Chain A
Amino acid sequence: AQKITQTQPGMFVQEKEAVTLDCTYDTSDPSYGLFWYKQPSSGEMIFLIYQGSYDQQNATEGRYSLNFQKARKSANLVISASQLGDSAMYFCAMREGLVSRANSKLTFGKGITLSVRP
């Protein structure tokens, strides 16, 4: 079974509007972390936001927020006030187990392409 599922094939949003990118995950480990990365056409992976499984509040980083619904195992990324520079591929990823575990590693979803229209 896939651990990270991103099913939206491609998303379009008008500049200055908000957009939600979906991510569901699957794990039986009570300790885990969820990440969102942005990959522009250059290929670099840019870290956007992190949510720990024990965090009580949804994570926010500037225009990025994570809608964490633990019971539904979803971790959707919300981008507010979209900008043209937000056009990129977006990946959801999960680390299972405590961060202090030496062999913890990230598992990625297949990604979602976001295009921002002027």
Chain B
Amino acid sequence: SQTIHQWPATLVQPVGSPLSLECTVEGTSNPNLYWYRQAAGRGLQLLFYSIGIDQISSEVPQNLSASRPQDRQFILSSKKLLLSDSGFYLCAWSVSRQGSYGYTFGSGTRLTVV
């Protein structure tokens, strides 16, 4: 069965520190991968998506970057965190084929920048 792992669950980081959040998918190949961010009490904003290894599309300009070094691994990074980077980060995957429309989300990382 397909599963998605995301860690860590919570993170408190000082302003100016680096960030690395990792997401891995099991049980499927060639998934589309997504990073979303949710500000407190708000909807989800798509940050990055990837349709393959080293193929990353950015939806909004920001202080973050994403990489996909392996088919089922998606990493969200920052060199220097800002206070505005605080939020709930969710990784998700989907497959592009007829009959399969689901998007499955990881359990999320709650990031607080202090």
Task: Tell me which residues from 76 to 101 in chain A have a Cβ below 8 Å from any Cβ of chain B.
Answer: 91, 93, 95, 98-101
> Which of these, B42, B90, B96, contacts A104 with CB under 8 Å?
B96
Known: A105-B49, A106-B46, A108-B44. A99 touches B101 (CB 8 A): yes
Which chain A residues border B92 with CB–CB below 8 Å?
A: 45, 106
Say how far A60's CB is from chain B's closest CB, in angstroms.
16
**CB atoms of B51 and A103 under 8 A apart:** yes
**CB atoms of B103 and A47 under 8 A apart:** yes
Which chain B residues border A43 with CB–CB below 8 Å?
A: 88, 90, 107-108, 110
Known: A102-B51, A102-B96. A47 touches B104 (CB 8 A): yes
Question: In the complex, A77 Cα to B71 Cα: how many Å?
Answer: 35
Which chain A residues border B98 with CB–CB below 8 Å?
A: 98-100
Which chain A residues border B97 with CB–CB below 8 Å?
A: 99-100
Known: A102-B96, A104-B96, A109-B43. A95 touches B101 (CB 8 A): yes
Q: Is A107 an interface residue (CB 8 A)?
A: yes
Question: Which applies to chain A's interface (DSSP): helix, strand, loop or mixed?
Answer: loop
Question: Which applies to chain B's interface (DSSP): helix, strand, loop or mixed?
Answer: strand
Q: Is B100 an interface residue (CB 8 A)?
A: yes
Query: Chain B residue with minimal CB distance to A39?
Result: B38
Q: Is A68 an interface residue (CB 8 A)?
A: no
**CB atoms of B43 and A111 under 8 A apart:** yes
Q: Is B74 an interface residue (CB 8 A)?
A: no
Say how far B111's CB is from chain A's closest CB, in angstroms.
12
Which chain B residues border A37 with CB–CB below 8 Å?
A: 105
Which residues in A have some Cβ–Cβ distance to B below 8 Å?
33, 35, 37, 42-45, 47, 50, 52, 91, 93, 95, 98-111
